[in-house]
Amino acid sequence: MIILFDLDGTLIDSTEAILESFHNSFAVYDFSSPDDEQIKALIGHPLDVMYRELGMKEDMIWDFVNTYKEHYRKISTQKTILLQNAKEAVESAAKFASLGIVTTKTGKYSQVLMEHFGLMDKFDVLIGREHVQNPKPHAEPILRALESFDTNNKEIWMIGDTQLDLISAKNAGINSIGVLSGYDKKETLKEFTNIIFRDSLDAVKYLESRKSSHY
């Protein structure tokens, strides 16, 4: 079995770091900042898409993205936490499946975060924003991650907290599980998968029971 995890809202909570980095970028360029709820509604999308949705002019977007990243890099490890049960979920999953991470975050910083939490060694691959041309909900990030595995006769699952994860899984032709630990509500997730759990640990327990029932 192969299990791919999203990061924000699935394994980690970096809301504080994300919000602070957004507000900082608006302050640097002397723009009035959107409120927290507007920003949170877009978490999971790539940064350039988030800034575009927040009304930023096209010729300024990448300046804002770069300023965001600069600040985020400095604060991310102090202002990000593992979600409840996430460590246990990853450690349990690693005992019966091969694991990967597929995120729209910058892969370089995501790797630093997972090393900080002592979990990076459990994953065979981490695909971030800079590794693909087309981020989730496109199939490309998942397909790119799967290049690192022998997929023959393997069940492949994506665990994520937003519709972007679930649509990406569908586009890539793999199974998906929605979790309620993050940013999208149950009603939204139900449109894209009929398997929804409270968090990543419950999702992993379900997959473990599926695997053992196959033998």
pLDDT tens, position by position, 77-134: 999 999 999 999 999 999 999 999 999 999 999 999 999 999 999 999 999 999 999 9
Q: Is the pTM of this model over 0.85?
A: yes
Long-range pairs, 147-155, Cβ under 8 A, ≥24: 148/100, 148/124, 149/2, 149/98, 149/100, 149/124, 149/125, 151/2, 154/1, 154/2, 154/98, 155/1, 155/2, 155/210, 155/211
CATH architecture entry for 2-13+81-213: 3-Layer(aba) Sandwich (3.40)
Domain spans of the chain?
A: 2-13+81-213, 14-78
CATH class as words, domain 14-78? mainly alpha
Task: Name 127's bridge partners.
Answer: 102
CB 140 within 8 Å of CB 95? no
Pull the structure tokens for residue 47: 């940064």
Task: Name 96's bridge partners.
Answer: none
pLDDT tens, position by position, 173-212: 999 999 999 999 999 999 999 999 999 999 999 999 998 7
pLDDT for the residue numbered 211: 81
pLDDT tens, position by position, 3-53: 999 999 999 999 999 999 999 999 999 999 999 999 999 998 999 999 999
